[in-house]
Amino acid sequence: MKFGVLGKSLPHTYSPQIHKAFADYEYTVLERSEEQVKALFEGAEGLDGFNVTIPYKKLAASLCSEVSEEVGELGAANTIVRLPDGGFKGYNTDVFGFTYMLEAAGIEVAGKSCLILGTGGASVAVEYALRKMGVAKIDFCSRSGEINYENVYELAIDTQIVVNATPVGMFPNVDDSPVDLSRFAKLYAAADIVYNPSRTRFLQQAQALGLKNAGGLSMLVAQAWEASEIFVGGPSTPSTGSGTADGATKINSVIKSLQDQMLNITLVGMPGCGKTTLGKKLAKKLGRTFIDLDIQFKEEYGTTPAEIISTKGEDEFRRMETQLAKKILPQSGLVIATGGGIVTRKENWFYLRANSKVCYLERPLDFLLKQDTSNRPLSRSAGIEELYKKRTPLYKEVCDEKWDQSLLTKIFNS
């Protein structure tokens, strides 16, 4: 059997990897123009079926000989299977994927008011899923709609759940967020269909506000699971959502595997705590690229952090460091050693958390006092004790994991 994923531009798709984890069939990437999409439906490439992504979901639905109930309602298909007598049948597994995403995060929508950001192809599946889950009210916000990004805080002030169904905040434009969640007085939860970066600015604000929240990776994997079931079962397979215990186990396993692969391991901690040495060791063991932000700083700017601090001051260095962090940290699958003071600028916290598991290398003060500070002007001028006092609470707050002395000793000796 031969399947694939169809889109206009798919340079970083994870679909082949996900489908390989679910089933044993050939799966390829199909980057096609609109005219070439029509040729696919004429059977020119001999495919047994394919998934469909932006911007062809509505076109795909219109070219199918048969459609599922969801596609009939939505007018958009993301899973296509060849019929025995010719032609194709279209399904929409995004509905199951979005439902799974909310349920896995414990977000209950029944009886609540919801605001969907965006009115494109993704929003129709989101709306359909929410209605099936019993939502009380749905509003839409778009750039030119009745509710838009200028008046949304007045017209949708009572919304309880906000769903970002737009690509706003997606890598590489990670600085963007569609709305300010703090301006919705009754907000209970926020969900973002974007999965790269793992923690968008939208999601990080939701987390900071203490809201229930969900990111798009679980939707991506869950919809692929149902698509794989349809591929294997053929065009007679009902699109009911493969919500069995076995299905959930497989979905969650792939989510974890993909998340582990995508997330950087980013090391924070005091100067001299061993970030560079440990980072190189981890990168070699995991087969990842290692980046030391201090070394990358010199490659980027042609001068060292120490030279900038000595000649232009710490403020200028921090500004330049943030620009570098913005460029490097939202990437995927790296091991990154950061400068000791990166946590002192709150602006950097978003970049640290965007696509990383942030690990704090916690060393005792007496260990740090023994380290060479000859090329560390801030350590010399402010003193290790003072830096340690100021920075330790910041490391603890920003990190996902704290690696203490005993763990670090074990890692270094392994």
Which residues are identified as catalytic? 57
d(CA 127, CA 129): 5
* Strand arrangement, sheet containing 113-117: 137-141, 113-117, 161-164, 189-192, 212-214
> Which of 341, 355, 99 is CA-nearest to residue 204?
355
Is the bond preceding 55 in cis, omega lying within 30 degrees of 0?
yes
284: DSSP letter: H
Residue 220: both structure tokens together: 């991506």
Distance CA 367, CA 369 (A): 6
Beta bridge pairs of residue 403: 361
Note whether 134 and 109 are within 8 A (CB). yes
What gap in Å lies between CA 65 and CA 80, rounded to an integer? 10
Q: Mapping DSSP to helix (H, G, I), strand (E, B) and coil, where does residue 191 land?
A: strand
Burial of 311 (0-12, 13-18, 19+ CB in 10 A): exposed
d(CA 229, CA 220): 15
Kindly list the distances between the CA atom of residue 62 and the CA atoms of 11, 56, 88, 122, in Å, as whole numbers in the listed order: 26, 10, 11, 16
Q: Is 116 helix (H, G, I), strand (E, B) or coil?
A: strand
Amino acid in position 389: K
- Write out the H or E segment, with its range, that includes residue 80: strand 79-82
